[in-house]
């Protein structure tokens, strides 16, 4: 997390992770807005979030982009790879599983509703102590389309538009899968005791290697800037899986925003 201002998506993601069965979220933080810090403090007090200060720029010249051409430095992208490996070793004997992904990414099961039910399925199908790799599906934030006529959007709080950040429930169409996003921009869930070295996407060294998870079992929902900006709206693919969580997600998000002074007290529950 650096120069982070995406408050709404942060709250939505943290509430979604709890719905999926996650009981600890670790944030490696370089810098963020005051509103973001308020949310981090709130969830830290609740016991969900642990913030690890990650200010390597105080000691070395860090790159501020994922490519060297984006900005030269002595270490890649504010120390992203060391942060991932720190997380694995720090929680190796505290967590049965660790998921390594960003705030704008959610790994959603397709036939069950939580990771608690998903992970036994993966162990049975692909084997235990594997690294499970999830296909990346990009939901561009530049496109807002209504669902097909057979679907209806749940009632959301119109005050969300006054909160900084992206509303993931407004972006339900993903780009077609291409090799560049499928095979290189995936993220993982792993038993940390079976890992020696991690990188941004996947592992460099582990006990039993990695397995691709069938997209019909689970896949990653990445709500972000488009990867294929030349696509027309009719080339995008509708996926309303996220809406199945909305009955619980929307009131939970409203509560957090209201308790942090980001929604009016009299806004809808």
pLDDT digits (tens, 9 = 90+) for 99-135: 999 999 999 999 999 999 999 999 999 999 889 999 9
| pLDDT score, position 255 | 97
| pLDDT score, position 141 | 97
pLDDT of 218-236, one tens digit each? Answer: 999 999 999 999 999 999 9
112 domain-assigned: yes
1 domain-assigned: no
| pLDDT score, position 22 | 97
pLDDT of 52-108, one tens digit each? Answer: 998 866 666 666 666 666 667 656 555 678 888 999 999 999 999 999 999 999 999
pLDDT of 164-211, one tens digit each? Answer: 999 999 999 999 998 777 677 899 999 999 988 887 777 767 788 889
Higher pLDDT, 197 or 21: 21
53 domain-assigned: yes
| pLDDT score, position 78 | 59
Whose CA is closest to 65, among 75, 50, 52?
75
Q: Which two tokens stand for residue 118?
A: 């998903």
CB 171 within 8 A of CB 223: yes
125 domain-assigned: yes
156 domain-assigned: no
265 domain-assigned: no
Domain count for the chain, please give it: 1
173 domain-assigned: yes
Question: 140-164 burial string, b = 16+ CB within 10 Å, else e?
Answer: bbebeeeeeeeeeeeebbebbeebe
Q: Summarize the chain as % helix, strand, coil (round to 5).
A: 35, 20, 45
| CA dist., res. 64 & res. 79, Å (int) | 9
18 domain-assigned: yes
| pLDDT score, position 268 | 55
**First vs last C-alpha separation in the chain:** 29
Question: For residue 52, what are the β-bridge partners?
Answer: 28
- 28-41 average pLDDT score: 96
| pLDDT score, position 63 | 62
The residue range of the domain holding 219 is 7-151+163-260
Length reported for the chain:
269
């Amino acid at each position: 997390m650096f120069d982070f201002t995406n408050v709404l998506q942060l709250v939505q993601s943290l509430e979604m992770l709890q719905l999926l069965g996650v009981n600890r979220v670790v944030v490696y933080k370089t810098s963020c807005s005051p509103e973001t810090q308020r949310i981090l403090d709130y969830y830290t007090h609740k016991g969900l979030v642990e913030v690890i200060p990650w200010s390597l720029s105080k000691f070395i010249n860090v790159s501020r982009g994922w490519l060297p051409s984006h900005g030269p430095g002595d270490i890649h992208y504010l120390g992203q790879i060391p942060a991932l490996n720190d997380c694995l070793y720090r929680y190796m004997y505290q967590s049965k599983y660790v998921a390594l992904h960003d705030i704008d990414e959610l790994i959603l099961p397709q036939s069950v509703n939580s990771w608690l039910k998903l992970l036994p399925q993966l162990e049975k199908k692909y084997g235990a102590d594997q690294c499970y790799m999830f296909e990346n599906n990009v939901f561009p934030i530049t496109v807002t389309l209504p669902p097909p006529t057979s679907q209806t959007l749940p009632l959301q709080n119109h005050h969300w538009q006054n909160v900084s950040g992206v509303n993931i429930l407004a972006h339900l169409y993903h780009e077609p899968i291409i090799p560049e996003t499928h095979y290189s921009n995936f993220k993982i869930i792993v038993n940390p005791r079976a890992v020696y070295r991690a990188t941004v996407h996947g592992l460099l060294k582990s006990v039993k290697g990695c397995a691709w998870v069938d997209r019909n079992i689970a896949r990653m929902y990445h709500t972000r800037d488009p990867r294929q900006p030349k696509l027309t709206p009719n080339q995008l693919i509708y996926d309303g899986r996220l809406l199945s969580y909305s009955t619980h997600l929307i009131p939970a998000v409203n509560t957090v925003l209201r308790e942090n002074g980001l929604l009016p007290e009299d806004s809808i529950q």
